Structure 1
Amino acid sequence: MIEVEGVKIDTRHWIGGERVPSVRKFPDISPIDEAHLGDIDAGGAAEADRAVAAARATFPEWAGKTAAERGAILRRVADGIDERREDLARVETRDNGSLLRSHRRGVMPRVAMNFRFFADYAETLAHPDLEVRGHRERITYDPAGVTAIITPWNAPLMLATWRIGPALAAGNTVVLKPPEWAPLTASLLADIAHEAGLPAGVFNVVQGTGAEAGAPLTRHPGISRLSFTGSVPTAGVIAAAAAPNIVPLSFELGGKSPLLVFADCDLDLAVDLAVEQFDNAGQVCLGACRLLVQEGIAEEFTARVVERARALVQGDPRDEKTDVGALVSRQHFERVSGFVERALTGGAKALLGGGPNTGLGGLYYSPTILAGAEPGSEILTEEVFGPVLTIQTFKDEDQGVRMANDTRFGLAATLVTGDPERAERVSARLNAGTVWVNCFFVRDLGAPFGGSGKSGIGREGGTYSFDFYCDVKNTVFSPDGWRSHG
């Protein structure tokens, strides 16, 4: 047991409705000041086996409940999240360095919504019967089994519950492997779920590194579904591990999204959207880190974005005035620094930032805007995942679209224009799972979410989630043959 921001947190795994210790531990370090928050129990194959066994044992009971019965429990989980919203916000800010004000106002309310929305949706999930040659075809959504969920550190609780919510609402049981760089709110969620009356074994948490705790889950024969959010290389390893068991996968992977700014746009709006990309210190998979601006307004747009970004307040994310916090770990800090250093050596120019925030020290990297990078260079093609934006210019619509699509990723794209017809034309040509027109980060939970290209496999949200977390069954009834023999 440790105490973080006045909140007591059990550092053991949660398996089969009880706390389970491990001999081995791993340290949890806060990005804010690199303070040691505590030692967390580190799981491996034994803990993964135990968690999957617990989830499989309780699966028939949970799957046998009606959607309404499951929904009632999941809504109590959501209520518990709301009641502990401040605890969850403070702990996650300390653990992963994201802004406390964002956790309070947006992230933790969304965590609760992930349970309520899918609990409600499951109760209305239905497909109209089909008819062929007088035969009736009934389509149903059957629980699939045990779902393994492996989540990232940039929004650990929100991104975990975005998968846990529909998996449980569908009637599956869950084993969660939280990120080792930010594991604490997963432990609190286990407490909240238990207090809400979620049966033992329905939700399990196995902590540890990807290699030691995640890998045994990905290759486990007892898993029926696997959801992963993270990097492309790790996804390849997971896919290979899951392949022998023919486990369906849902992957949300990297991004290198464009913000495409046309000369006919509302320039104030375009500048606002560009500066918004520094949210969470740029550690956002959907972030539009490539600013592509039409030549006629490029000079003014660039000057205004640099001026606005320079005014951002960087510092302790627990301070309500802070706009940009720290990067999550020393390892990630060095990775981001390396990208920028290589870009500058290669001829790019830093219009803003370009290095660590020496006034703050630690893991604080200055908001950075780079121009003049060589087409095809690393800084324009690889995901940096930090507070680093690049600016490029284009002449006309065709060139702008080509540059926007010149990436192996396809998670999202943002388009800013004052011409509705251009908005229709360009959005149809952009290769992305989500396209925002004159807005950013707006999405109903019923809408499909996922990436094209190297940004992922599959879609989740609304019915799309249940298509994945369920076995969709077709039962065909003949109009004849109802008379029994004799």
Structure 2
Amino acid sequence: MTEHTLTVAGVAVDTRHWIGGERVASTETFPDVSPIDGSVLGEISRGTAMEATAAVAAAKAAFPAWAATPRAERARILHAIADGVEKRLEELAIVETTDNGALLRSHRRGVMPRVAHNFRFFADWLLKLEHEDFETRGHTNHVSWDPAGPCVLITPWNAPLMLATWKVAPALAAGNTVVLKPAEWTPLTASLLADIAAEAGLPAGVLNVVQGYGSEIGDALTSHPDVRRISFTGSVPTAKRISASAAANLTPLSLELGGKSPLLVFADADLDLAVDLAVEQYDNAGQVCLAATRFLVQESVAEEFTRRFVEKAGQLTQGDPRDEATDIGPNIHPRQLEKIDGFVQRAIAAGARVVIGGHRGDGQYYAPTLLTDVAQDSEIVQEEVFGPVLTLQTFADEDEAVRLANDTRFGLAATVATGDPERAERVTAQLVAGTVWTNCFFVRDLQAPFGGSRHSGVGREGGTWSFDFYCDLKNTVTAPKGWQSHE
């Protein structure tokens, strides 16, 4: 091992940036701490504007050749990256679990296989991406997707590699080059991805990884005039700063931001199903942007729903995420834990009643919490907590349910539990959300558009929508006798 390598559960991870096909160290470092036990995993190269600028320059230099690479060859390399992910799936799973505290069983069975699928899906979608030619007064219209240029992709800590590759894969497939800036709390699997991509034959400079604090390198990336696209997943305040930074160059943005999504439970719902959906909102210790954190339950079944929920939630096991029996792991960082507890204690002080939880556990664990007797305009109802904290309110009828559901500044997702198909159709049509699930949760297909409304985001990605964002769309119109000389 070298001074620039750390070892996580036997897996070697390079702590330096990946720029222009080479490892680059910074003079300063920052500690990477595991949320499981608070141990320092290692010191990570702390990027500055110098490394950020170098990464954009490397992406710019690599862009012409990669953009000119035939679609089939780009797709082949993306499939090779997927092969590399699958080959190192166990290593990626244990490193990510150690780094961000999410369940190892989930990483093994769902998250890391999805990482590989992200590359395969967009590689295959690229090969069938087309728009049928059409005529206008005898003229032929041909629509094409042209690579846009270097892209800056800024990704969060709650599902680091999966959400990074959700952006990296379509950007690369489209023929763009990438500067990936992973969250400083979870940098390790992005470094491993750089190794995997290089081994798969991705040319130098096509993928670059710059680590560090957003406050120190973010502006150098997002205000750079050579950057052609910026995609960000994270908080609303950070998105506003990125938007302001990008505005000088009119750089197009894709923003997937916070959520305060509702779960609407009607009296005619299968209550066992509704309770299962409700308990699922504690997934990843509540650190899921799509989580339905606001339970809206029809008055006539609220008492029974609550009883069953408390019983079901009481069966959850909180503990070490590396243990197969664990259902809820730690929260990511002491600062996040403070934020979560602050929300809860302020809500209690304002009159909220604790149904379950409402307190910290040992270390960076927070007890699964449900609060009721909360006002619609209260902080706990209106603001994203991003922890295992849920609220319960009741409603009398459909109109009130929809009004309460839509009464926040967010609009990322919504979930509806009902046994009446006509009601489902009426209610879902009125909900302000980028994704609505009826009698299910977290069913996602990469063909579908994904994004949020209101303060939950700008734009949509997925399927052709991703290529629409990561490309410059061109329409070429040819006259019926366009090839004939006018002489």
What are the within-5 Å matches in structure 2 for residues 274-285 of structure 1? 274-285=278-289
For residue 130 of structure 1, report the CA deviation from its aligned partner.
1.7
Q: Which residue of 2 aligns with 1:356?
A: 360
Q: Which residue of 1 aligns with 2:430?
A: 429
Q: Which residue of 1 aligns with 2:394?
A: 393
| Equivalent position to 2:209, from 201, 205, 208 | 205
**Aligned-residue RMSD, C-alpha:** 0.7
Q: Which residue of 2 aligns with 1:58?
A: 62
Counterparts of 1:407 and 1:368, CA distance in 2: 21
Counterparts of 2:219 and 2:326, CA distance in 1: 37
Query: Deviation digits for residues 126-183 of structure 1, max 9, x if unmatched?
Result: 0011211111111000000001000000001000000000000000000000000000
What are the within-5 Å matches in structure 2 for residues 1-40 of structure 1? 1-40=5-44
Q: Structure 1 residue 126 and structure 2 residue 114: aligned?
A: no
Counterparts of 2:270 and 2:485, CA distance in 1: 73
Counterparts of 2:32 and 2:483, CA distance in 1: 64
Q: Report the residue type matching 2:379 in the other structure.
A: E
Q: Which residue of 1 aligns with 2:87?
A: 83
Contact (CA 8 Å) 1:70, 1:119: kept in 2 or not? yes
SS at match of 2:326: coil
Q: Which residue of 1 aligns with 2:379?
A: 378
Q: Report the residue type matching 1:455 in the other structure.
A: S
Q: Which residue of 2 aligns with 1:443?
A: 444
Counterparts of 2:86 and 2:479, CA distance in 1: 49
What are the within-5 Å matches in structure 2 for residues 177-188 of structure 1? 177-188=181-192
For residue 481 of structure 1, report the CA deviation from its aligned partner.
4.2
Contact (CA 8 Å) 1:12, 1:41: kept in 2 or not? yes
Q: Report the residue type matching 1:385 in the other structure.
A: F
| Equivalent position to 1:73, from 63, 77, 80 | 77
Q: Structure 1 residue 106 and structure 2 residue 110: aligned?
A: yes
Unaligned 5+ segments in structure 1 are: none
SS at match of 1:136: strand
Q: Which residue of 1 aligns with 2:417?
A: 416
| Equivalent position to 1:175, from 168, 179, 182 | 179
SS at match of 1:37: strand
For residue 22 of structure 1, report the CA deviation from its aligned partner.
0.3
Check 1:43–1:264 CA distance in 2 against 1; reply closer, same or farther (3 A cut). Answer: same
What are the within-5 Å matches in structure 2 for residues 135-284 of structure 1? 135-284=139-288
SS at match of 1:27: strand
SS at match of 2:153: strand
For residue 311 of structure 1, report the CA deviation from its aligned partner.
1.6
For residue 484 of structure 1, report the CA deviation from its aligned partner.
3.3
SS at match of 1:322: coil
Counterparts of 2:51 and 2:227, CA distance in 1: 14
Contact (CA 8 Å) 2:376, 2:404: kept in 1 or not? no
Q: Report the residue type matching 2:198 in the other structure.
A: H
SS at match of 2:321: coil
Contact (CA 8 Å) 1:44, 1:212: kept in 2 or not? yes
SS at match of 1:410: coil
SS at match of 2:264: strand
Q: Structure 1 residue 45 and structure 2 residue 49: aligned?
A: yes
For residue 184 of structure 1, report the CA deviation from its aligned partner.
0.2
Query: Deviation digits for residues 42-84 of structure 1, max 9, x if unmatched?
Result: 1111101111111111101100011111000000000000000
For residue 2 of structure 1, report the CA deviation from its aligned partner.
0.4
Counterparts of 1:421 and 1:61, CA distance in 2: 53
Counterparts of 2:157 and 2:20, CA distance in 1: 25
Q: Report the residue type matching 1:352 in the other structure.
A: I
What is the aligned residue count? 483
Contact (CA 8 Å) 2:152, 2:229: kept in 1 or not? yes
Contact (CA 8 Å) 1:42, 1:213: kept in 2 or not? no
Contact (CA 8 Å) 2:16, 2:25: kept in 1 or not? yes
Check 1:481–1:353 CA distance in 2 against 1; reply closer, same or farther (3 A cut). Answer: closer
Counterparts of 2:256 and 2:162, CA distance in 1: 14
Q: Report the residue type matching 1:461 in the other structure.
A: G
Task: Give the TM-score, by structure 1 length.
Answer: 0.99
Q: Which residue of 1 aligns with 2:456?
A: 455
Unaligned 5+ segments in structure 2 are: none
Q: Which residue of 1 aligns with 2:406?
A: 405
Q: Report the residue type matching 1:400 in the other structure.
A: A
For residue 485 of structure 1, report the CA deviation from its aligned partner.
6.2
Counterparts of 1:202 and 1:455, CA distance in 2: 30
SS at match of 1:207: coil
